[in-house]
A and B are shown apart, each in its own frame.
Chain A
Amino acid sequence: MKGLVVPVTLVLVAELCARLFGITSDSLASPSQIIAAAVGIVADGSLFTMTGQTLFAAVVGLAIGGGLGLVMAILLGLIQPLARLMHFSVEAFRPIPAIAILPIMLMIYGFGYRMEIAIIAFACFWPVLIIGQAAVSGIEPRLIEVSKVLGLTFLGRVTKIVLPAALPRLFVAFRLAAAVSLIVAVTVEIAMNPQGLGYELMAAQSSLRPEVMFAILLWVGLIGWGLNAFLLYAQNRLFGFAGKLEVPR
């Protein structure tokens, strides 16, 4: 509860200032105006639409990028020689910021979902690959020996031994990738793509409606915080101590 003291006080002070000084501004809005604006965009359904657009792109991008990253992570984690051979290429491509891919995707796909999903997939691929590879290669070697003794096929080994053993750290990678997917989605929409929460944020600012802008901003913050909190809770429920292992850099 102590944590709420500062934000609530700030909100009350802001509201007081706005009422006392009667400021009208193109860039500021009082808390009551923001709440009214928030109710407005919920009521007319636009908040639902823009949230849906952003989340759809984020989820699909996460699925594609995370899926590919997971496959590569398993391959590189299990097959040591392959990991060593790919080391240079991975380290060479990895530092490319996802946002630098934006103009390429813009050129190929134009505006819309495909461009955004492609960029999100690229961004989510790397954390899943790097952390996932460490997770898979860090499995207790005895378990691999067991799978060989049991005569499992490669696919059998992956599904029955590798994935369950690496799951806690894979979930950490997934959590990170999920956060990245949301951030990249909003960023792409702010920079370029005319859809979703990021775009509506910019539109509200440029049409001089700061109350709507702040309302959407708070909503984005809430989504980000809620997603993180939920995934952290899920991780603790599902994996407890195992998920708390240190994430490799």
Chain B
Amino acid sequence: MRKIRDMGRASVSKKTERALWSVASVAVGLAIIGLWQYIAWQKYVSPVFLPGPDRAWSALLEGFESGALTERTLATVERMAYGWVLASVLGVAIGALIGSSRVARQYLGPTLEFIRPLPASAMIPVAIAFFGLTKSMVLGVIAFGSIWPMLLATIHGFASVEPRLIEVARVLKLTRLEFIFKIALPNSMPDIFAAMRLGLTIALILSVVGEILAFQGGLGSHILEASRSFRSAELFAGVILLGIIGLLSNLALGALESRLLRWRSQ
């Protein structure tokens, strides 16, 4: 009896220990911001280049109050989301097609492996040549760049289905579609989710690059304009906002992943 009680006590103190460490690490983060503020006050770096956190914060607030930042943030997030969803759907669909056929994998595999390391932004000039400096060009580039992780993860997941399960499918006389939805896709889900996270990061980066290049509004254009007119506070506010977008979208996807993959004991 006593052992079980002691174990209970040990786990409580472990929890408070972890909470204390979290508080301490947030405190360290705040201290770093404090250091930044100090450097800005003492003007060790010219305020033209390095605004203090106070100026960046007020630029952030002003931007949202006047609606300018809200509109631009939404534009960037919207672009990123559309491109990423498109890439995910296409990636999984095409990946399922290629992955479920060994012949397709053999013939297309090396080509895909060659295109994979290509920087997605290198396709931007080609896209401009075909589509001009338009919104759909940027969307196309985002989708093209973000599709690779999902595509390859789906193919890999399909290729790594346990052979016993393939035999089970054959015994149960499952059709190709049933096999894909009941066995192959669930098997690939962890890989696909991890790939979707990576795809989201790529989508954000390409949205910003596209906005910088094609003058499409959004946060990318905003921070570029701010840098050109040396409005460092607005620039830093925009960069921080981009970081927040990246963080929140990753967290959201992670939460979704752990909910949907709860059947996996990983």
Partners in one complex: yes
For A80, give the chain B residue with the smallest CB separation. B21
Q: Is the CB of B28 within 8 A of A201?
A: no
Q: Is the CB of A201 within 8 A of B243?
A: no
Interface set, chain A 78-125, CB cutoff 8 A to B: 84-89, 91-93, 95-104, 106-108
Q: Is the interface of A mostly helix, strand, loop or mixed?
A: helix
Cβ of A224 under 8 Å from chain B: yes
The interface size of chain A toward B, counting residues with CB under 8 Å, comes to: 55
For A108, give the chain B residue with the smallest CB separation. B49
Most buried by B among A85, A103, A224: A103
Q: Is the CB of B208 within 8 A of A100?
A: yes
Q: Is the CB of B227 within 8 A of A104?
A: yes
Q: Is the CB of A97 within 8 A of B227?
A: no
Cβ of B24 under 8 Å from chain A: yes
Q: Is the CB of B125 within 8 A of A204?
A: yes
In the complex, which of the residues A4, A84, A97, A104 contacts B208, with contact meaning CB atoms closer than 8 Å?
A97
Q: How far is the CB of A194 from chain B (nearest CB, A)?
A: 14
Contacting chain B: which of A34-42, A131-139, A157-165, A183-191? A183-191
In the complex, which of the residues B21, B29, B121 contacts A89, with contact meaning CB atoms closer than 8 Å?
B29
In the complex, which of the residues B25, B121, B125, B247 contacts A213, with contact meaning CB atoms closer than 8 Å?
B125
For B22, give the chain A residue with the smallest CB separation. A88
With A95-B246, A187-B209 as known contacts, state yes or no: A107 contacts B119, CB within 8 Å. no
Q: Is the CB of B212 within 8 A of A227?
A: no
Cβ of A27 under 8 Å from chain B: yes
For A210, give the chain B residue with the smallest CB separation. B129
Cβ of B61 under 8 Å from chain A: no
With A89-B28, A96-B242, A97-B205 as known contacts, state yes or no: A190 contacts B124, CB within 8 Å. yes
For B124, give the chain A residue with the smallest CB separation. A190
Given contacts A97-B205, A98-B205, A201-B125, 7 further A-B contacts (CB under 8 A): A85-B28, A95-B250, A103-B224, A104-B232, A108-B49, A183-B121, A204-B125
Closest 10 CB pairs of A and B: A3-B110, A103-B227, A95-B246, A224-B117, A27-B129, A96-B243, A205-B125, A88-B25, A95-B247, A187-B121
Residues of B within 8 A of A (CB): 21-22, 24-26, 28-29, 32, 48-49, 106-111, 113-115, 117-126, 128-130, 194, 197, 201, 204-205, 208-209, 212-213, 223-224, 226-227, 230, 232, 235-236, 238-240, 242-244, 246-247, 250
Can you pick out 13 interface pairs between chain A and chain B where the beta carbons lie within 8 Å of each other? A2-B107, A95-B243, A97-B201, A97-B242, A99-B209, A103-B224, A103-B239, A104-B235, A104-B236, A201-B122, A213-B125, A220-B119, A227-B117
